[in-house]
Structure 1
Amino acid sequence: MKNQITTYLSLGTNQGNKLDNLQNAIYKIADKVGSVSKISSVYKTASWGFESDDFLNICIQVSTDIPAQQLILTLLNIETELGRKRKETESYTDRNIDIDILLFDDDIIFSKNLIVPHPKMLDRKFVLAPLAEIASLIMHPITKTTIANCLHNCSDNSEIIIVNEKLKRPIPISEKYNYIAIEGNIGAGKTSLANMMSKDFNTKLVLERFADNPFLPKFYTDKERYAFPLEMSFLADRYQQLSDDLAQLDLFKNFVISDYYIFKSLIFAQITLQQEEYKLYRKMFDLMYKEITKPDLYVYLYQNTERLLENIKKRGRAYEQNIEANYLQKIHDGYKSFISTQQNLNTLVIDVSEIDFVNHPEDYQSIIHQIKKA
């Protein structure tokens, strides 16, 4: 579990479509920094220290696991991505977006690139007013007074006006979903993604216990003999595990991520079992399926067969090394058929054939972005 820090950021703009500038910055911060918990009203003020168009300013509360020194670099990159061009001058200038760190938990930081609390925040009403709106009782770590009192004692008498327009708060994954099931073919990366998301979003993680199944190695050497006991044991174990873990979801409203869904059992059974065996299996499956909580989002990772075989070889499980491309294609066809027939299942298919989300953070963030928007 990653340690989460609460930070307060000030955003300002006086060029172009100012509301869009602020909203786009909020979206970027939600994607690259952390969950945006609160957004103040939008405040309009005259330019500070120079003659120019009025500014729109807001403050936001963000929960993040990024260290302060890395956070400032991330925010500078966001400004650049949004089109800000810094000028070689110490004077105040127009800017389409400006993002400052006001508070970082209750830390006091003095470094070459960052000073926290922001050294000028106590003198600026356009900073303190929106900050007091969302954090009135938070203590300034140096003055040891609340932000509300800091605003009351501020000597800045500039006019500040709340505008009517409201900005949208991006809903974080942990609020949007209670249960996400991640599926995919053998070697698609579902367990890797489930592990990564669990760490990032502090979720309860439910991983398939395939390593404990004694029939699995035997199945790959003699499929006809061991298919039925393998599929029945998997079905029983998946049902038991999901029943236990998702029952707690109902009690405590935890955020759960699993690297499988119970319907996986039927997909594999269709491929491996003989007709009479499958009929018996289907009766048992239908009874269990009715009792299992359905995921809020079902994510299917599509990986082409060539990459699947590469991944299977790379992870080196001895009993998987003789898996054939035809078998993987049958599994994919089973998933494809399942997805196409599930009218009431919120499904997201993500093609991961040409990306490496384990080793490339930008690929992982692309997946998270798709899940947020699903």
Structure 2
Amino acid sequence: MKIQKTTYLSLGTNQGNKLENLQKAINLIDNNIGSIIKISSIYKTPSWGFNGNDFYNICIKVTTYQNPETLLNTLLSIEKNIGRVRTSKEGYENRLIDIDILLFDEEIIFSKNLMIPHPKMLQRKFVLIPLSEIAETTIHPIEKKQISICLQNCLDSSEIAITSEKLIRPIPLSEKYNYIAIEGNIGAGKTSLANMISNEFNAKIVLERFAENPFLPKFYKDKERYAFPLEMSFLADRYQQLTDDLAQFDLFKNFIVSDYYIFKSLIFAQVTLQQEEYLLYRKMFDLMYKEITKPDLYIYLFQNTDRLLQNIKKRGREYEQNIEPSYLKKIHSGYKNFINTEKNLNTLVIDVSDIDFVNNHEDYKYIINKIKCF
């Protein structure tokens, strides 16, 4: 399990639309570094160490999986993205955005490119006042004192004024949702996306146990004979897995993400079963469906049929290699009908036909942003 670290950052700007600069930096930090847990008020402060325009300064608390060196490089990229141009000129100067790492857990780092805690933070009220607002009892790892005490001891006499302007904190997935279910046709990439979200957000993951079903290879060889035992065994296993896993509270996981939702059982059964078998199956399904916890967000990944067939061939499961395009189209029609008629689910459809979120990080971030903004 990856361990999240807590870092405190200082942000300042004294050029252009200062509120917009800070908000853009916050959004980029959320997209590229980690979840923003707290944002201080905005403080108007005089330029420090040079004659220039007044600054807007804030501090933020962020959780991240990045190590300090990677974090520094990411922050430099964010500054560049916003428009900051670093010069070889010595001393301080006006800037569109300035982002400094103040604290990184309890670590003490002295390297050529990075010093943590920030060596000048205890001399600056424009840092300590917003930091104390969101981290009053946090201990400075060198001074061994709370930030609030460090503020009291600060000799900086600068006039710092709180403003009435507000910033918007991006809501992390782990706060917005308790349970996300990801669905899609065979080969759409639902398991890959579920794993990626679980890894990034430390979510508990529930994966369909298709590999353990002895009827699946037999079904693709003789669909008429093995359709009913296949669908019944999948239904029973999905019901048991979701009932057990969703009932367990995991102290170390923020939320749950699964690569299926139990309604897929009915969608596949509609395609594979004869009418009499389906009617019996539907009775069993309706009894179970009432007991299943509904997801806060239901995501359907749409892939066109050609891409599905490419993905199926690429992953190389022998029993899937003879799947017909017509079968995939029937499955998609079943999902489409379910999405159009099931009004009690919070449903997000994402077309992934022309993107590769597994191998292209920007495509993956596109999907995450779609989920965050939904």
Shorter-chain TM-score range: over 0.9
Give the structure 2 partner of residue 261 of structure 1: 261
Percent identical among aligned pairs is 74
Q: Deviations over 1:229-286 (max 9, x none)?
A: 1111111111111111122259999511110001100110111111111111111111
TM-score, L = length of structure 2: 0.97
Matches within 5 A, 1:286-297: 286-297=286-297
C-alpha distance in 1, partners of 2:207/2:102?
Answer: 40
Deviations 1:327-361 (A, max 9, x none): 11111111111111122211111111122211221
Q: Secondary structure at the match of 1:357?
A: coil
1:11-90 to 2 correspondence within 5 Å?
Answer: 11-90=11-90
2:169: which partner in 1? 169
| Aligned counterpart, 1:273 | 273
Report the 3-state secondary structure (helix = DSSP H, G, I; strand = E; otherwise coil) of the residue aligned with 1:12: strand
Question: Within 1, Cα distance between the matches of 2:263 and 2:251?
Answer: 24
Aligned-pair distance for 1:210? 0.8
Partner of 1:245: 245
Residue 248 of structure 2 aligns to a residue in which SS? Answer: helix
Measured in 2, the distance between the counterparts of 1:335 and 1:68 equals 44
Question: Relative to structure 2, which stretch is displaced further, 52-61 or 352-361?
Answer: 352-361
Q: SS in structure 1 opposite 2:349?
A: strand
**Matched residue SS, 1:71:** helix
1:52: Cα distance to partner? 2.1
SS at match of 1:312: helix
CA distance in 2 between counterparts of 1:189 and 1:64 reads: 26
- Indicate the residue corresponding to 2:351 in structure 1: 351
1:285-323 CA deviation, whole Å, 9 max, x = no partner? Answer: 111111111100001111111111111111111110100
Match of 2:300 in 1: 300
Unaligned runs of 5+ in 1: none
For 1:89 and 1:146, the matched residues in 2 are separated by 35
In 2, are the aligned partners of 1:181 and 1:260 still within 8 Å (CA)?
A: yes
Which residue of the partner structure matches residue 319 of structure 1?
319
The number of residue pairs the alignment matches comes to: 374
Structure 1 position 361 matched with structure 2 position 361: yes
Does 2:137 correspond to 1:137?
yes
Shift of 1:22: 1.0
- The DSSP-based 3-state class of the residue aligned with 1:21 is helix
* Contact 1:228–1:277 (CA under 8 A) maintained in structure 2: yes
Task: Provide the C-alpha distance between the structure 2 equivalents of 1:206 and 1:153, rounded to a whole number of angstroms.
Answer: 51
Cα root mean square deviation, aligned:
1.5
2:149 maps to: 149
Identify the residue that residue 222 of structure 1 maps to in structure 2.
222
Alpha-carbon distance in 1 for matches of 2:13, 2:254:
38
Cα distance in 1 between the residues matched to 2:251 and 2:142:
42
* In structure 1, C-alpha distance between the alignment counterparts of 2:250 and 2:347, rounded to whole Å: 21
Q: 1:41, CA displacement in angstroms?
A: 1.0
Shift of 1:166: 2.1
Structure 2: distance between partners of 1:351 and 1:84: 35
Structure 2: distance between partners of 1:153 and 1:259 = 53
1:180 alignment partner AA: I
TM-score for the superposition, normalised by structure 1: 0.97
Instruction: Find the aligned partners of 1:282 and 1:253 in 2 and give their Cα distance.
Output: 34
Query: In 2 relative to 1, CA 249–271 (structure 1 residues): closer, same or farther, beyond 3 Å?
Result: farther
